[in-house]
A and B are shown apart, each in its own frame.
Chain A
Amino acid sequence: RKEVEQDPGPFNVPEGATVAFNCTYSNSASQSFFWYRQDCRKEPKLLMSVYSSGNEDGRFTAQLNRASQYISLLIRDSKLSDSATYLCVVNGADGGSQGNLIFGKGTKLSVKP
């Protein structure tokens, strides 16, 4: 089983749509979880950290289910500028907060007018 798995997409949605991305991770000892976005030929940019209780930042909502080792990202009212690849990221093998990050392969989102 891969350490971090995501649906690669692409997700093609119209402006204004709500879209959800899912991610599963294999290391039950992982403690830190993040969503990054990466635009074509650019570096990843931190979108949000994922808190145990779930968290919301504007149109973006992240949730964590430790029992199922599952992370989600919900984007409401999609904008054209949301088009990017969304990376699910989990801290690394040792499971501690000092661990390296393990990246999923990313889910590509394309928002159309």
Chain B
Amino acid sequence: GAVVSQHPSRVICKSGTSVKIECRSLDFQATTMFWYRQFPKKSLMLMATSNEGSKATYEQGVEKDKFLINHASLTLSTLTVTSAHPEDSSFYICSARDMRGPYNEQFFGPGTRLTVL
């Protein structure tokens, strides 16, 4: 399958700081990437859809001013958690859609575990 990388894999930060997470498609171009969040023992929840060259589409209940998404190239999307608070601590996972095949499968990055103190 296609390869998606994510950086950093783990972040510990103080409350009030901003954290930037990068998601890259390594062997294919992705016009669409997705950002998910997963709390312990819960299912993946889609936060937003990142579209190359245009504004991201946020799911209901997700604050766009708090979770800034930038998809400046066909291989890179970034998620910035601004003014992070302890309740933002979670596992953040990106995925990219591989449009080369008939099923437009999504492949996930390895995730970023964010802990806000």
Contacts and interface: CB of A to CB of B under 8 A. Distances in A.
Interface of A: 32, 34, 41-46, 49, 87, 97-98, 100-101, 103-106
Interface residue tally on B, bucketed by range = 20 to 34
A43 B106 contact: no
Name the prevailing secondary structure of the A interface residues. loop
B67 interface: no
Contacts of A105: 42-43
A34 B43 contact: no
B104 A44 contact: no
Nearest to B98: A46
A87 B109 CA distance: 16
A44 B1 contact: no
A46 B43 contact: no
A97 B43 contact: no
A46 B108 CA distance: 8
A103 B110 contact: no
Contact of A103 (B32, B44, B104): B44
A43 B43 contact: no
Contacts of B49: 100
Contacts of B105: 34, 46, 49
Contacts of B104: 32, 97-98
Contact of A43 (B1, B103, B110): B110
Contacts of A97: 103-104
A46 B34 contact: no
A74 B112 CA distance: 31
A106 B43 contact: yes
Given A49-B103, A97-B104, A42 B111 contact: yes
Given A41-B91, A46-B1, A101 B106 contact: yes
Contacts of A42: 110-111
A104 B43 contact: yes
B46 interface: yes
Given A46-B107, A105-B42, 7 more contacts: A32-B103, A32-B104, A43-B93, A45-B1, A49-B103, A100-B34, A106-B43
